[in-house]
Amino acid sequence: GEDVEQSLFLSVREGDSSVINCTYTDSSSTYLYWYKQEPGAGLQLLTYIFSNMDMKQDQRLTVLLNKKDKHLSLRIADTQTGDSAIYFCAEGYTGTASKLTFGTGTRLQVTL
Amino acid sequence: GAVVSQHPSRVICKSGTSVKIECRSLDFQATTMFWYRQFPKQSLMLMATSNEGSKATYEQGVEKDKFLINHASLTLSTLTVTSAHPEDSSFYICSAPPQIAVGNEQFFGPGTRLTVL
């Protein structure tokens, strides 16, 4: 089966960079996603990366993908208190209606 | 990004009653929608795939007679929790992939918090 693992908790100071890590086991995934969930809310798509890419940068967000090690990371530059949330990585596959497999989620706490 | 809505956002019901949750894609059509449930401090668990014009596909361990899914149109899917019990209390979230999506991304509704007394 597919397992997607994340560390449970990360605490950073405001202004520092945050790095959230994700490991997965299914090498056939086509896309890898990062979603943000604030308390009591749905999931907000932050960014995604195609599996043949190594890196993608989008404003404060940088995604790194090491396909050999099946390791995905999300770096948030200049972390703000509004970034406090739970972050989920997810695997997706070819086909517009393919289901996603979610990671266990990482709670990011930003302190002053 | 595309917008997906859910209604209601929160519902409290008595044990034994049925509850219907709606998921709508507001500015795009979705032949497929997904229903997830999320327990506190846990990840999302896929319950079923809702298909417009055909039967839903349920994940292993999910009772199809308990969680009725109807994909009535290209913009609406409903999940009905029948004869709800306290253990059905959870956060239910739907998602929909647009028919044309560059990164095969899915857009999520804001979720429905169900509490069964």
- Residue A35 to residue B97: CA distance in whole angstroms: 14
For residues A83 and B101, the model is more confident at A83
Written as one string, the DSSP assignment of A44-92 is EEEEEEETT-SEEEETTEEEEEETTTTEEEEEESS--GGG-EEEEEEEE
pLDDT in tens, A37-46: 998 888 999 9
Residue of B nearest to A43 (CA): B108
pLDDT surpasses 70 at B1:
no
Instruction: Give the pLDDT of residue B2.
Output: 76
Sort out which chain B residues have CB atoms less than 8 A from A94's CB and list them: 104
% of chain A surpassing 70 pLDDT: 96
> So what's the pLDDT on residue B53?
87
Give A-chain residues touching B97 at CB under 8 angstroms. 96-98
What average pLDDT score do residues A13-23 get? 97
Q: Is residue A42 classed exposed, middle or buried when 0-12, 13-18 and 19+ CB atoms within 10 A define those classes?
A: buried
| Band of pLDDT at residue B98, cut at 50, 70 and 90 | confident
pLDDT band at A92 (very low <50, low <70, confident <90, very high): confident
What's the whole-number mean pLDDT along residues B74-92? 96
- List CB contacts of A112: < 8 A, sequence separation 6 or more: A13, A14, A81
* Other CB atoms within 10 A of residue A12 CB: 17
Q: According to the model, what pLDDT value does residue A1 have?
A: 44
Percent of chain B, pLDDT > 70?
96
Instruction: Inform me whether the pLDDT recorded for A86 exceeds 90.
Output: yes
- Residue B40's pLDDT is what? 86
Location of structure tokens 């994700």:
A22
pLDDT of residue B41: 84
- DSSP state letter for A95: S
Residues of A in contact with B4 (CB under 8 A): 42
Chain A residues whose C-beta is within 8 A of a chain B C-beta are 30-31, 33, 35, 40-45, 48, 50, 88, 92-100, 102-105
**Which residue from B104, B111, B113 is facing A30, i.e. has the nearest CB?**
B104
Query: Which chain B residue has its CA at the smallest distance from A41's CA?
Result: B110
Percentage of chain A beyond pLDDT 90 is: 74
Does residue B115 register a pLDDT over 80?
yes
How far apart, in whole angstroms, are the C-alpha atoms of residue B54 and residue B3?
24
Q: What is the pLDDT of residue B58?
A: 96
Tokens of B63: 């009772």
Residue A96, pLDDT above cutoff 60: no
